[in-house]
Amino acid sequence: MEVKLENLSKHFGKVKAVNNFSFHINDGEFVALLGPSGCGKTTTLLMIAGIYKPTTGNIYFGNNVVNEVPPKDRNIGMVFQSYALYPHMTVLDNNGRCWSSGKRKRYLASTYPGY
Ligand SMILES: Nc1ncnc2c1ncn2[C@@H]1O[C@H](COP(=O)(O)OP(=O)(O)OP(=O)(O)O)[C@@H](O)[C@H]1O
Ligand SMILES: [Mg+2]
């Protein structure tokens, strides 16, 4: 399923964590967001997962806007930042924790700060 972000913003008071961000991920595509610490990568992932509600803009899964869909109904797994990773395991093994019994999930990883 394709994922599309359309003019997505998340503001915390005066802090513009994400500001008017748009992109399109095709079905089956593997995507990494790279950028300096504080540029809004984790905030973007949290909006895709449904944990943060966008201040403005839309998130589409296929043709459907999912802004109001709760996290539990999005079929998204998320691996959180460093403190929730298993340091003795590989990136793949850490991410593998998001795969449930035979059912493929879309999943997101937010890795070490600054990376
Ligand atoms: N809950 C929050 N309340 C206020 N400001 C926040 C909140 N979450 C993030 N921010 C701010 O929003 C901006 C983006 O933060 P975010 O964590 O998304 O960055 P990041 O790209 O994931 O950084 P890093 O590479 O360090 O993980 C930062 O300036 C951060 O301080
Ligand atoms: Mg981050």
pLDDT for the residue 91:
72
Domain boundaries, the chain: 3-109
Ligand 1 atom nearest residue 18's Cα:
14
Q: Rounded to two decimals, what is the model's pTM?
A: 0.82
CATH number of 3-109: 3.40.50.300
Distance 44 CA to ligand 1 centre (A): 10
Residues of the chain with pLDDT > 70, as a percent, come to 76
Ligand 2 mean position to 111 CA, how many Å? 7
Residue 37 has pLDDT above 80, yes or no: yes
**The pLDDT of residue 104 is above 60:** no
Q: In the 3-class helix/strand/coil scheme, how is 25-75 assigned residue by residue?
A: ECCCCCCCCCCCCCCCHHHHHHHHHCCCCCCEEEEEECCEECCCCCHHHCC
Residues within 6 Å of ligand 1 by CB: 12, 15, 17, 35, 37-43, 113-114
Return the residue whose CA atom lies nearest to atom 16 of ligand 1. Answer: 40
